Structure 1
Amino acid sequence: MFTGLIESIGEVAEIKPTPAGFRLRVTTTLAPDMAAGESLSVNGVCLTVISADPDGIHADISPETARVSTLGALRRGALVNLERPLRADARLGGHFVQGHIDATGKIEDIRQDGDSYWLTIRFPQALAPYIVRKGSIAVNGISLTVAGVDDRDFDVQIIPFTWDHTNLRAAKPGEMVNVECDILGKYVVRVAELAGMTKPR
């Protein structure tokens, strides 16, 4: 479980094919505090650290993870958002982020507004019931608030600190991002389905 508050930006240093997908090496300042078997959110995807050294970590990417997220399209030199799991004795500053990507979205527009930035992201229709105005959403692992939404796009405003300390600063229109909807909203929709209030999806 994560909070969506990015701790560090890592850089993809190596990508090696494996019989079960591929292995990723990410250089990061978090590496000295990581150990094999621990979880790490990489662009919002919960991965297991296979090994760690003073400069970076290795993690395996399965074919399914590569298919449903943007990790399958990573290239050497790419910047990735990193977050270690939430500690039980820590404050929850963002929202509950599982690291289980619901879908990928496409950045339709990036526009500056003073020191902040607005992003418009197109999402698959299947996610529509879970995205609400003023609700929480994770984009590349970043906890954000939905400022506006219609039947195909949602808008988020990125404050200067978030812009400077995440990989959104390098984003371009047309790029794909990982999207995870708020788990609380997903439970509400599921309960409504079981109660016969809505049609099962």
Structure 2
Amino acid sequence: MFTGIIETLGIVHLIKKNQDNLDITIQSSVTQELKIDQSVAHNGVCLTVVAIKNDLYTVTAIRETIEKTNMSDWKTGDIVNLERAMKLGDRLDGHIVQGHVDQTGLCTDIQQASGSWYYTFEYSPDLGNITIEKGSITVNGVSLTVVDSKEHSFSVAIIPYTHEHTNFKNFQIGTKVNLEFDVIGKYVSRLYQKK
């Protein structure tokens, strides 16, 4: 389980196809603190550490994960948001994040406002995911509050700290992002559909 509070950034060092899987090697400032079999969220995707060497560690993504996320677009040199799993007893500064991406979305608008940024994202309606204003959403692993919720799109406001310390600063119109919708909202929506 994660909180959506990004701990650090990592750099994609190597991507190697392994049958239907991808072995992805990341360079990170927290590598020395990791251990084999530990979960780390990469742009919101929970992956298991399978190898460590110096400041590099490797994770493996299976086909289902690759198909549901933006990982197929990753390339060497890309910057990814990293968060280690939360410790029991830690503060939950963001919201409950599982690290299970629901679908991808596209950045459709970026507006700079005096000292902050507004990003708008669209997503496909095919999976029935929803947002609500003032509800939680995870974009590339970052826990955010929905500012403007519309049918199949939403906006979020980014403060300077988040802009500087995540890969939001690299987003452009058309950037594909990983979306994890609020877990409580997903359960409520599913229960409502069954009635």
Q: How far, CA to CA, are the matches of 2:160 and 2:55 in structure 1? A: 28
Question: Is 2:129–2:181's contact at 8 Å kept on the other side of the alignment?
Answer: no
- Paired residues in the alignment total 195
Q: State the 1:127 CA deviation.
A: 5.5
Question: Is 2:130–2:152's contact at 8 Å kept on the other side of the alignment?
Answer: no
Q: State the 1:122 CA deviation.
A: 0.5
Trace 1:121-140 onto structure 2 (pairs within 5 A): 121-126=121-126, 130-140=130-140
TM-score relative to the length of structure 2: 0.96
Question: Is 1:128–1:151's contact at 8 Å kept on the other side of the alignment?
Answer: no
Q: Does 1:167 pair with 2:147?
A: no
Trace 1:92-103 onto structure 2 (pairs within 5 A): 92-103=92-103
Partner residue, 1:75: 75
Q: How far does the alpha carbon of each residue in 1:129-158 deviate from its partner, in whole angstroms, 9 at most, with x for none?
A: 531010000000000000001113200000
Q: How far, CA to CA, are the matches of 2:173 and 2:24 in structure 1? A: 25
Q: How far does the alpha carbon of each residue in 1:17-47 deviate from its partner, in whole angstroms, 9 at most, with x for none?
A: 1124120000001100101100000000000
Q: How far, CA to CA, are the matches of 2:187 and 2:121 in structure 1? A: 23
Partner residue, 1:46: 46
Partner residue, 2:156: 156
Q: Point out where structure 1 has 5 or more consecutive residues left out of the alignment.
A: 197-201
CA RMSD of aligned residues (A): 1.1
Partner residue, 1:176: 176
Partner residue, 2:191: 191
Q: State the 1:62 CA deviation.
A: 1.0
Partner of 2:93: helix, strand, or coil?
coil
Partner residue, 1:199: none
Question: Is 1:12–1:76's contact at 8 Å kept on the other side of the alignment?
Answer: yes
Question: Is 1:128–1:152's contact at 8 Å kept on the other side of the alignment?
Answer: no
Q: State the 1:6 CA deviation.
A: 0.1
Q: How far, CA to CA, are the matches of 1:7 and 1:20 in structure 2? A: 30
Letter in 1 for 2:51: S
Identity %: 38
Q: State the 1:51 CA deviation.
A: 1.1
Q: Point out where structure 2 has 5 or more consecutive residues left out of the alignment.
A: none
**Residues 61 and 129 (structure 1 numbering): CA distance in 2 closer, same or farther, change over 3 Å?**
closer
Letter in 1 for 2:72: G
Letter in 1 for 2:169: R
Partner of 2:40: helix, strand, or coil?
strand
Q: How far, CA to CA, are the matches of 1:141 and 1:129 in structure 2? A: 17
Q: Does 1:22 pair with 2:25?
A: no
